[in-house]
Structure 1
Amino acid sequence: MEGTVAYTRRIASWAALLTCVGACPSEDIGVSSATEGGSGTTDSALPGTGASEGVPTTTNSGVSGSGGDNLTGWETTGADDPVGPCATDPLCDIPPEEHEPTNKPDGLPSPLPGVYDDLGPAPLDNGFRSLMGFPNRQRELLEERVAAMYDPDSPSFRDYLTVDEWMADHAPRTKDVDIVKAWLKSRGFTINYEAKNRLLVHFSGSVKDFNETFDTELHICMRKNPLHSGDPFPVYCTLESFTLPIFVAERTHGLATADLPAETGTLTKEVGDVVEDYPGDDAHGPPAFYGAYNMNKLFADGYDGTGSAIGVVGAGTYHTIDLQIFWKSFGIERELPTRVALMEPVFERITETSLDTQWSSSLGPGADVFVYEGPDARNTALLFAWNEAIGDNKADVVTTSFAHREDAEAKTLRHQYDESALMGAAIGMTLLSASGDSANPDTPCSSPYVTCVGGTNLVATPTGVISSERAWSMSGSGNSKSFAPPYWQEADVDSETRAMCDLALSSSPENPMWMRRWKKWEAYGGTSFASPAFAGMVAVVNSYRKAHGKPRVGYLNPVIYLHGPTRATFRDITKGATPYHSAGVGWDYPTGLGAPDIAALAATIP
């Protein structure tokens, strides 16, 4: 009965939407850029993300071209084509009272012992780069549509939105984005990049102008490097809150990031020959995963990822010759990935990007691979790359291993990752994140629209014959501080927030994985292997589905939790523990539903 009520409510929402279609400009259907309800939060709510917030702003906002009663008095020939003095100045019809500053959460970290160490105020003549984040429009309706499209009993099951449909109904309004961009330019900032889906605007300028505009003071913090063997690096942080003019605050989530300018340099030329150089049996290679997670049957039947595509969120780029040697040494033949340049030019090769590319491409050897390359591993580049990998819609499955401890990152950043992920779910993408290696929750794993891949300690032969598999002691897991419990997890978790992980694969350094790094073999552990490996596995599942006339699997979480036959394809991991949680029968924090049987998953998932 409860499901019937929820479904009726969705129909009512869609009926209201359809009433407007044809009478309202496509960008003005329903609410304005402020969202309706949303996924909920345990922090003080961001505008449009908390279910307890008041009545949503309507489109009769008094902004020229916003639809409704044309309260400004200006004639229009379309939603974004005003006639009159405001035709060339988007700010000219903003009432004076809306220019007043109001407090607004931001996405910058604050000093945190052991993670962010404060070095004091940033020099005023320093530069910065930043992202302004926007929410999905009509978020409550979008979440209802997504719930229905992943419900096997719904008539709209797997009826994914096209990008054009999402843009028309749920992207931030062009008018709102233009107003915010005009305001940023009026403050002396430069607009550098705009996301394809309009959820992010990248701008830059001086620290002096930043401090004056946002009524704060940027500090420099040394950030502990979350990547293997990396040195600490400087980032901007703040001790004080931010303000924005009311008209900007109402249209945005606020500042999602602010970082030092991207470094510049020249990418060194690769040298060396592509040779077979098997590293030995002291660590797991891809064949161990093929066997341990039951992929060989699919390969034998011709399902190797062909027809599917993997998106890798990168920072810098990878070493192509190392990648080819990795493949050749494990008997993998495939095409090189497509590098997708984003933002400032890439000038360095980064371990994490190399690892993720090697393992995702090897576990889905027939799949196309797109590596979305931001200039570095700072939040500005990583969030933009994540968002563009989704907005580009060339990949069926997107993976990131640049996970950061959730309590170390500000809530605006966490919620902006979630805004992108919600779009991905709506258009039928599978979004994966490493759960992290601190035994604590990470972001973007905490988004309910992301499948959070934790870690196990796998003991197996080089061909994947399993001796044992238990929870890895440092598998990132726990309760989110950001998001309300999703409906698909309510039967498994007694928690006031989203709980992690959702599933788990081999990650322990006690039984590590190989990677080829800077002309030599090294063996590591970490969930950085688990997420890209599972991305390759999802590509293989999609290859099977395509051959059987089925759509890509998309947002996995509702189906793997709630569809009994699909859930049964996961091998329950009942032993092992982190310092905070133990594995056990059924769902548990360190390993979620368990380890996947990929052949069974491909044959069973509806």
Structure 2
Amino acid sequence: MGGLVNVASRTAALVVFAGCGEPEAVGTATASFGSGTGSIDDGFETMVGWSGSTGWVTTGPDDPIGPCGDDPLCLPPSEMVPTDKPDGLPSPLPGVYDDQGVAPPDAGFRALIGFPTRQRELLEDRVALMYAPGSPLFRGYMTVDEWMAEHAPDPTDVGLVENWLRSRGFTIDYEAKNRLLVQFSGTVADFNATFQTELHICLRKNPLWEDPPFPVYCTLDRFTLPKFVAERTNGLASADLPAEKGELTPEVGAIVADPPGPEAYGPRAFYGAYNLHPLFDAGFTGAGSSIGVVAAGTYHAIDLQIFWKSFGVVRELPKRVAVMEPVFERVTETALDVQWATSMAPGAEAVVYEGPDARNTSLLFTWNHAITANEVDVLTFSFAHREDSEPKPLRHQYDESALMGAALGMTLVSASGDSGMPDTPCSSPYVLCVGGTELVASQEGMIEKEWAWVMSGSGPAKSFARPYWQDADVHIDRRAMADLALCASTDYPMWMRRWSKWEYFGGTSFAAPAFAGMLAVVNGYRRSLGLPRVGYLNPILYGDETTRSTFRDIKYGATEHYHAGPGWDYPTGLGAPDVALLALALP
């Protein structure tokens, strides 16, 4: 996933696969971060040099549909012309997506169609001002209602497309509350006929070390949509086999302290290594703040409580939010993310957003749902996929949601992955991308040394232009990852409680939820001072020198492709955080 690496399975060699082959337009890199102001048409001020572009140009006319209203059968023939549109389904990629042949026509599917953010460039300008100290809009976050009124896809456009899907024999299962996504379902035969394509079954390499590949749909050719659908949508964001059904088995066992041995790190090592103790000692443990976890399936509540009890963590159980189809299984990645995120912020409220499985349809919709709910300050995601294995529309639909999160004042944290290459959704400029280090420290976090982890997901994004806040550090025209890094090594691993026993693993799946929990503690401290939550951190981490100085520079180590060094670097970004100093420094 984002990932999770078993210590015993680690190999020295990294296998590099070619990209999917689709053309990538990175756009024009934005100009440097400026301190001056100028005016734009709607009356608020903007920074000199801010162009508002991340390289993703959305489509969709603003003109009314006309006398047909939302009836797709009434549209003139010119609106029904078949139009090529990139799709969000993977193509076969040896070792990642292995083609198994044509999908049975009578099989079922579920798919997501994505819609663009309305007035996106205007929103990007506004978000830049929200995170520019000294701006009159600094930390003036939007509400969901404001975002919906100004930037949600036109409901008439969404209704038109939904009615067209129904006219093709599909069922509308879920519409995202922000209207950026609609899930629909039907048969493979109808899918192929509607989109003039042919679904294949591919076996997706399972990012979990011990689990077998799982089947997903893939395609060999581009999709075709009617002109009116192609113009009003970002296209098909995903298509998957139907969600499996089953019963969640009841939990058994007693909640007892059962501390593991010294073979791996527990939460206290992170408290020490990343300097949470001054905040804890002053009574700041995350109270008044909240953290969300994007999940597939659910976790084992008894294992979670044993994890807490064994490491001296006292807190309430998370709130569980069911998203889409009912959950029927417990998933390792979900258990890990919840254990480590909640342990870093014992006083923070926690919410786990549970999609039915770890396929793209579920993960993207759940991510978008959690952002739209706007009920947590920090949201963490560790089901990352290597960016070059995922199609462009999927990557960019994650970015559509992430931009909304930034506008609402949420911090979106993602694992950078464990391939030594970029992952999605980390590649979105609106996501805080957490890479990995090798940390040598005591069980209490007394650091001996720390260097870049060889498998830390990192590198230039495929299609997002360099954001303005990376101008001083990055010398290519694309968004660069990672932004920071925490312990993730398989050589110096971390504990988790899994299926009633202790196991240790490595991976940025530990780093991302751990840092998200740390930010919940920071937000709790800020709330005590009457300050707003930190929100979209990237521009301030890079652009504010006082904030930037709270990171410990990681100067040594390398991945297969990039070396760490003085200052920002690909494997470790700005370095490792000192959380207590970060809380004091953030404007």
TM over 0.5: yes
Kindly provide the amino acid, as one letter, of the partner of residue 526 in structure 1.
G
Deviations 1:97-122 (A, max 9, x none): 11111000000000001100000000
Q: Distance in 1 between matches of 2:73 and 2:526?
A: 53
Structure 2 residue 135 is the aligned partner of structure 1 residue 148: no
Whether 1:12 and 2:27 are equivalent positions in the alignment is no
Decide whether the 8 Å contact of 1:396 with 1:430 is kept in 2: yes
Please state if 1:285 is matched with 2:266. Answer: yes
Is 2:420 aligned against 1:439? yes
In structure 2, distance between residues paired with 1:455 and 1:590 = 7
Using the alignment, how far apart are the partners of 2:142 and 2:405 within structure 1? 10
Q: Give 2:55's aligned amino acid.
A: G
**Contact kept? 2:32, 2:471, Cα under 8 Å:** no
Contact 1:38–1:139 (CA under 8 A) maintained in structure 2: no
- CA shift at 1:135, angstroms? 1.1
* Structure 2 counterpart of 1:390, from 363, 368, 371: 371
1:271 maps to what in 2?
252
- The residue identity in structure 1 corresponding to 2:407 is A
In 2, are the aligned partners of 1:414 and 1:482 still within 8 Å (CA)? no
Structure 1 residues 77-101: Cα deviation after superposition (integer angstroms, max 9, x where no partner): xxxxxxxxx56x5335533211111
Report the equivalent of 1:137: 118
State the 1:363 CA deviation: 0.4
**SS state of the match for residue 153, structure 1?**
coil
1:3 and 1:240 map into 2 onto residues whose CA distance is 41
**Shift of residue 14, structure 1, vs aligned partner:** 4.3
SS of the residue 1:480 aligns to? strand
Give 5+ residue unaligned stretches, structure 2: 1-30, 46-50
Partner letter of residue 150 of structure 1? Y
Q: Quote the residue 1:601 is aligned against.
A: 582
Query: For 1:251 and 1:282, how far apart are their aligned partners in 2?
Result: 54
Q: Name the residue aligned to 1:40.
A: 55
Does the 8 A contact of 2:326 with 2:356 survive in 1?
yes
* CA distance in 2: counterparts of 1:257 and 1:273, whole angstroms: 41
In 2, the alpha carbon distance for the partners of 1:156 and 1:105 equals: 36
1:108 aligns with 2:86: no
- Pairing of 1:133-532 with structure 2 (within 5 A): 133-532=114-513
Contact 2:237 2:394 in 1 (8 A): yes
Q: CA deviation at 1:399?
A: 0.5
Determine the C-alpha separation between the residues in 2 that align with 1:403 and 1:583. 22
- Alpha-carbon distance in structure 2 between the residues aligned to 1:543 and 1:537: 10
CA distance in 1, matches of 2:470, 2:349: 32
Tell me, in whole angstroms, the C-alpha distance in 2 between the residues paired with 1:211 and 1:281. Answer: 55
Q: Deviations over 1:488-526 (max 9, x none)?
A: 001101112100000000000100000000000000000
Corresponding residue SS for 2:490: coil
1:551 equivalent to 2:551? Answer: no
State whether residues 47 and 250 of structure 1, in contact with CA within 8 Å, keep that contact through their aligned partners in structure 2: no
2:397 aligned partner, one-letter code: Q
Cα distance in 2 between the residues matched to 1:597 and 1:5: 27
Q: Distance in 2 between matches of 1:282 and 1:197?
A: 46
Cα distance in structure 2, aligned partners of 1:226 and 1:13: 46
The alpha-carbon deviation at position 8 of structure 1 amounts to 2.0
Contact 1:63 1:93 in 2 (8 A): no
Q: Give 3-state SS (helix, strand or coil) of 1:258's partner.
A: strand
Aligned match of 1:63 in 62, 65, 87?
65
Question: Size of the alignment, in residue pairs?
Answer: 552
1:556 is aligned with what amino acid? L
2:278 match: secondary structure: helix
- Residues 257 and 284 (structure 1 numbering): CA distance in 2 closer, same or farther, change over 3 Å? same
Check the 8 A contact 1:293/1:597 in 2, yes or no.
yes
Contact kept? 2:117, 2:152, Cα under 8 Å: yes
State the distance in 1 between where 2:562 and 2:353 align. 34
Cα distance in 2 between the residues matched to 1:362 and 1:391: 25
2:248 aligned partner, one-letter code: L
Measure, in 2, the Cα distance between the counterparts of 1:484 and 1:500.
12
CA distance 1:2–1:292, change in 2 (3 Å): closer
Shift of 1:579: 0.6
Q: Deviations over 1:450-501 (max 9, x none)?
A: 0000000011111100001100000000000020000000110111210000
Shift of 1:15: 6.7
Shift in alpha-carbon separation, 1:263–1:3, aligned structure 2, 3 A: closer
Task: State the Cα distance separating 1:12 from its structure 2 match.
Answer: 2.2
Q: Deviations over 1:173-230 (max 9, x none)?
A: 1111111100100000000011111110000000000000000000000000012322
Could you tell me which amino acid in structure 2 is paired with residue 236 of structure 1?
Y
CA distance in 1 between counterparts of 2:502 and 2:531 reads 39
Distance in structure 1 (CA, Å) of the matches to 2:502 and 2:85 = 47
Residue 477 of structure 1 aligns to which amino acid in structure 2?
S
Change (3 A) 1:419 1:561: same
TM-superposed deviation, 1:7: 3.9
Provide the residue aligned with 2:518 in structure 1: 537
State the identity %: 67
Shift of residue 281, structure 1, vs aligned partner: 1.5
Question: What is the RMSD of the two structures over their aligned residues, measured on CA atoms?
Answer: 1.6
Question: Is 1:581 matched up with 2:572?
Answer: no
- The separation in 2 between residues aligned to 1:3 and 1:289, in whole angstroms, is 33
